[in-house]
A and B are shown apart, each in its own frame.
Chain A
């Protein structure tokens, strides 16, 4: 009986999905083509609706459409993102071709503003958007890379060249002295936790590996648009999680019209490194040995370890999407299968992502049911690259230090291990196996009900569950690694992340008078997040202890063989719950004056009873000057508006559990108090103001905006050791200090040439931000937090950055370099001093599109300026002293007056200008068009990523931010034997069916 019922329900559910395929026949068919006014190109995906009816369709890839309408219909309405909606009459005929007028600056584009959308022209806050067509091209492993250099005030830094590695994302400067300063990601209205389920793993020898990107399970091809909520007025609706800004990602949905299949595929290959780190080649190395009178280190060969390491395997990417719908329902399903190879062998990221989404209307279209399911699996092959490798370094340091006159293998094919501590980079590839697999599901289901025509209620439930497993094997045949060599090491680590969101919102809009309209939103949200990890490891195995007897069975498959079973580590984060009430009211007075006010009250279980709730208000106004009578006849501008906003956002990104006294087992049979509770801890809050100006030229071909902002973060959550005697874990207090970020942003877009055969678009944006801590004192003394670990042999325990009063966060604090003495030893002063800013003050991006006939050339690039990078690699890895032990050295050091006996030391010598311009991608696209009745819109392209970088920085990539945090205080802009950035060429095609 039960089974019968289930079957029945299943059948009706399937029927529900199948509804859109059943299309009724009508009396008359209108056909035509829709083109752009800009360049005469065909527009695909334009919504075509019969006026006065519910019938609609979409244009195909070639811009054509065909719609069956009642014979009485005489007008069609055409609407498309970025273009002015247009109504056109058939004049009684059955053919209707339309040229849509682009709404320069995307004034009519729909922008996500948090629990809702708005048209760009109605925005009162500072929100920047990027549509799919403007994304960065080429090999993209995570969504944040789509946006690099696209938005003024958004800084996306690739911290590592490893595919799938985390990026550092900052909106309008560095908003926190603690780690966790990334913005809040909201996917289709679902706020994410921001953490990844990839277990972190590190050994004392190799250090800890870079973090994984938490957005890997989002298919970049599924993204419709990304909106960046920059000022407090837009982000305050996200309250306590909005202080670092909000990045709202909207995925594609199905649309009314014929069902379609889109397929795209690309293949790419690494063509060397974007930029080399200059060490000596074999010839120079020999000269250096002679120069310094070093004997016994010339082994006669001529090798280049980076050449040997280079991964030449073909990367592949297949993307399939299937979508369709009618007036009552839409669906979209997509699948991505990709395998991306890193610059170095054995490092790759494989992704399999499936999505299924739909929106269905029922009960006279009063009820809309929506769902979206994203299921992703990623497999990362990780090589021995880490943030904090100590004296023995990692695969990059081994390659940099490798004596270029030494072969990697001996005559019998066994790895050669030099006795100089450098390690053999190829042996490290062979003997180090580290694979992380993550399964992530993000699903949400929503129901919205039109209580009245202008009153809508919506409920959404979302769940994000990610489970990660990581198997690390370091084989005992690797020689030269303390505690690993001759023993072998295996570790199984797991990590789980689960967050759930319940959201209720109520939307209301009405015209209060003929000129004054009101929109209102009220809502409740409950968010809960759980996080846990564990790790089991052992060392001292009986297999793989010699290279000759290597077998394929990893230690992690027989962990019980380990002679030394290390302590299991199990950690469960105290559950985080946030419960919120929020509201937004907007008033529009005849499209001239617009006012928005929001408020959010957040209660978080992270805080103690005394200060559990925080309140985050905001207000903003927009005056559309161009709609005033005195501007009506203006010949220059079609749009001119000024904006002003004020608001308060919060930050609660600090470890949960700090408000509760906790006791825990520290090891076998030992139990200690771990946390000093502070029940009075309050929210960190950021008050910000924003003034903006938007303008569009009369013909819509030039549009730009300018913003000034000032952000003041107070009640800074300060983490310090508790007052001794006390448990060693940090305590958290609110400091009455100010972290100020202020700056200006400017963006401009122009269609410079616009002919039917040829067009040229250019976009440019630039942002300047000043970051400074003030009143950062305690008991009248400046607080000094040292961070920025400088690693490597001879610099253990050295910290190169400081968080202190009247300085930018993470200011360099280094001993001065005083040149070389007569014996060629570097002279380093005794007392460290402030040495510069590691936070870029200026970020800029440029992109241009040239189209000739069916050929399109797109170039995206950008850079940063006004900051310094500390080259920790030069300090302690490629330093000149290595050559005395037969290690390769820095070319700069070789060319300097320094001699091999020069002592190692961290100083301003290794501080370099970070200014750079990077050509992110160039792509040439040939639009073949329709090749058959079924294969439409065929597009072939070639693409080059990371073609070059212009910089004076001597490291691998000036876009670098290795995590060198100290005691959870982050560092910034330190390079240390990072995974280099590859230059990648790709080829691909796409078409629709």
Chain B
């Protein structure tokens, strides 16, 4: 009996040995409750910084917003070069409008923009100051604007919502109005001046202008309409920005994009990068790496370029017919030879000697056609030893298989590489700020609204455009129609001017839809289907949030 007692006691003892409550300890992160206490008043600012830093990725990388807004238009494409850049066809389908609902980049863009949406919303839950709240709302609106534009709807949460529940979704006119209301509410609490790296009233107004201008297109992308009230809003807001006197045209167009573009007088809102600083650097070298040939760098970096992104001759030609350009040949296919003179009229074409870049690499920012040279003026060859001469002619199916496969396509160096410390930042942590909103866009939007107003003002619009053109060294335009559906790349139109000024800045798809020429046949995109006016809602998002609706045709 005594033994049984011992046995019983032993087993009883062992059953009460438990000690831990098993509450998870977080040695490297904070819980919701700890945030405000641990970080104090500065905490909200840090959360706000988090939302700002979210802008870097989606608006810098070649495979996020850029490729959806640019590769789907006449401004950009990535031909498959032999095996290179096939990537299962993801690039080709964007240009010829044959993508499906499972396109990975379509999903990645949706998620990366919604990260801004979420992190900005989170700021609002931690008692921000009025200005911090306004900045957060501006950042959120910037993301929502793009989600709305690309997918026709956006999910929305209030601060503190249970993240395991599906959020509400706003779309169409209500969605547009929501973004406009948010921006309008934020406006008075934003600073009137300040660096382009932070939200200002002018940045908020520029985004509001975009919303008003596109509102009618969002309501009906196939046949956009433009309410006069909206156009008047665009004009009023634009004139406020212009008359603020804070902005003026740079004498050198590419200074808006180079490593010192923090001092640009045109940039209204940018993502700030610092040369050689990895912290929050969004990797703007991708802007030049994505387009340059492998051999376009110093001898120690023969594979510097990625040799992908190009533009089509049709787009390049849209610079042509209006202004006589010295040393520039128009292309309808076929090879060219010779180099640009430094006297080309339209500065935006580039091809000129650029101090700090050409002497370091031989590169001349802007469009690159024909033979390329290094910093010693030695002509470059491609990897099979043939002359490195960019050929505007691209295979009809965008699949280059000939001996010239490495050199087809006109290249576009919008952002001059950062050579502030030799070639150190050429491929990592360059200092070019990524331009998110720019003054010329404001001017061109006002001009467009003047043409679209119930009582159009074509003279006023043309004057503004011609002032801009004069600043770019281009001849004035005698007439300024919005677009020419019979010839979508007609150089004498406002949409062509927007292309010339804002190419590779992530607005082209929106513009082409608004001007009604997005679905028209163009080079290397013979046919189309109205479903491509919108991107599909990614399958994973659709599966997890029943409030989202798949766009028609997908």
Contacts and interface: CB of A to CB of B under 8 A. Distances in A.
Interface string B514-540: 000000000000000000000000011
Interface string B392-416: 0000000101110100000000000
A726 B276 contact: no
A896 B299 CA distance: 36
Contacts of B155: 723-725
A483 interface: yes
A361 interface: no
B280 A668 contact: yes
A904 B84 contact: yes
Given A579-B18, A657-B29, A296 B385 contact: yes
Nearest to B104: A797
Contact of A726 (B24, B114, B279, B384): B114
Nearest to A794: B83
Nearest to B425: A564
Interface in B39-98: 39, 43, 46-47, 49-54, 63, 80, 82-88, 90
Contacts of A664: 28-30
Closest 8 CB pairs of A and B: A904-B83, A486-B300, A572-B28, A794-B83, A668-B279, A671-B46, A725-B118, A672-B50
Interface stretch (A265-273, A603-611, A644-652, A834-842): A603-611
Interface stretch (A102-110, A464-472, A522-530): A522-530
A734 interface: no
A575 B25 contact: yes
A661 B87 contact: no
B302 interface: yes
B539 A784 contact: yes
A791 to B, nearest CB: 11
Interface in B88-112: 88, 90, 104, 110-112
Interface in B193-242: none
Interface string B135-173: 000000000000000000001110000011111000000
Given A565-B278, A574-B26, A672 B47 contact: yes
B192 interface: no
A567 interface: yes
B383 A420 contact: yes
Given A728-B111, A797-B90, A663 B385 contact: no
A457 B50 contact: no
A524 to B, nearest CB: 4
B87 A419 contact: no
Contacts of B50: 666, 670-672
A676 B163 contact: yes
A313 B551 CA distance: 64
A540 B428 CA distance: 10
A884 interface: yes
Interface of B: 3, 6-7, 10-11, 14-15, 17-20, 22-32, 34-35, 39, 43, 46-47, 49-54, 63, 80, 82-88, 90, 104, 110-112, 114-115, 117-119, 121-122, 155-157, 163-167, 276, 278-280, 289, 294-295, 298-304, 383-385, 399, 401-403, 405, 421, 423-425, 427-429, 539-541, 543-546
Nearest to B24: A605
Contacts of B164: 676, 678, 722-723, 731
B46 to A, nearest CB: 4
Contacts of B280: 667-670
Interface in A500-531: 504-506, 508, 522-524, 526, 530
Interface in A166-181: none
Interface stretch (A474-482, A860-868, A929-937, A970-978): A474-482
Given A571-B28, A672-B50, A901-B401, 13 more contacts: A420-B384, A660-B31, A661-B31, A666-B50, A666-B53, A670-B52, A723-B164, A723-B166, A725-B117, A725-B118, A794-B83, A884-B82, A900-B82
A522 B7 CA distance: 11
A549 interface: no
A885 B383 contact: yes
A913 interface: no
A727 B423 contact: no
Contacts of B17: 504, 524
B375 to A, nearest CB: 14
B122 to A, nearest CB: 6
Nearest to A563: B424
Interface in A610-655: 612
Interface of A: 296, 391-392, 417, 419-421, 451-452, 455, 457, 476, 479-483, 485-487, 504-506, 508, 522-524, 526, 530, 532, 539-540, 545, 563-567, 570-575, 577-579, 581, 603-606, 612, 656-657, 659-678, 720-728, 731, 778-779, 781, 783-784, 793-798, 815, 823, 825, 876, 879, 881, 884-886, 900-906
B540 A720 contact: yes
A885 B386 CA distance: 11
A432 B276 CA distance: 23
Contacts of B111: 721, 724, 728
Contacts of A566: 278
B139 to A, nearest CB: 12
A721 B540 contact: yes
Q: Which of A486, A656, A876 has the most CB of B within 10 A?
A: A486
Contact of B24 (A420, A656, A778): A656
A522 B29 contact: no
Contacts of B87: 794-798
Contacts of A605: 20, 22-25
A579 B122 CA distance: 35
Given A504-B14, A903-B82, A723 B163 contact: yes
Given A482-B303, A605-B22, A662-B31, A881 B83 contact: yes
Given A508-B7, A724-B545, A794 B383 contact: no
Contacts of A578: 22
B543 A781 contact: yes
Contact of B384 (A296, A526, A661): A296
A905 B122 CA distance: 43
B53 A563 contact: no
B302 A793 contact: no
A672 B119 contact: yes
24 contacts: A479-B299, A480-B303, A481-B303, A482-B304, A508-B11, A522-B15, A572-B27, A574-B24, A574-B27, A577-B22, A661-B31, A663-B29, A663-B31, A664-B30, A666-B53, A667-B279, A670-B280, A672-B51, A721-B540, A721-B544, A723-B545, A725-B115, A728-B111, A779-B546
Contact of B11 (A421, A522, A794, A876): A522
B390 to A, nearest CB: 18
B142 to A, nearest CB: 13
Contact of B28 (A570, A728, A797, A886): A570
Contacts of A668: 279-280
A523 to B, nearest CB: 6
Given A483-B427, A778-B543, A798-B87, A724 B294 contact: no
A564 B429 contact: yes
Q: Which of B82, B157, B279, B543 has the most CB of A within 10 A?
A: B82
A485 B543 contact: no
Contacts of A794: 80, 82-87
A876 B302 CA distance: 20
Contacts of B7: 452, 455, 508
Contact of B276 (A505, A530, A564, A784): A564
Given A673-B118, A727-B118, A901-B401, A479 B20 contact: no
Given A671-B39, A676-B164, A532 B27 contact: yes
B167 to A, nearest CB: 7
B68 to A, nearest CB: 15
Q: Which of B104, B167, B425, B543 has the most CB of A within 10 A?
A: B543
Contact of A795 (B23, B39, B88, B425): B88
B541 to A, nearest CB: 6
Contacts of A879: 83
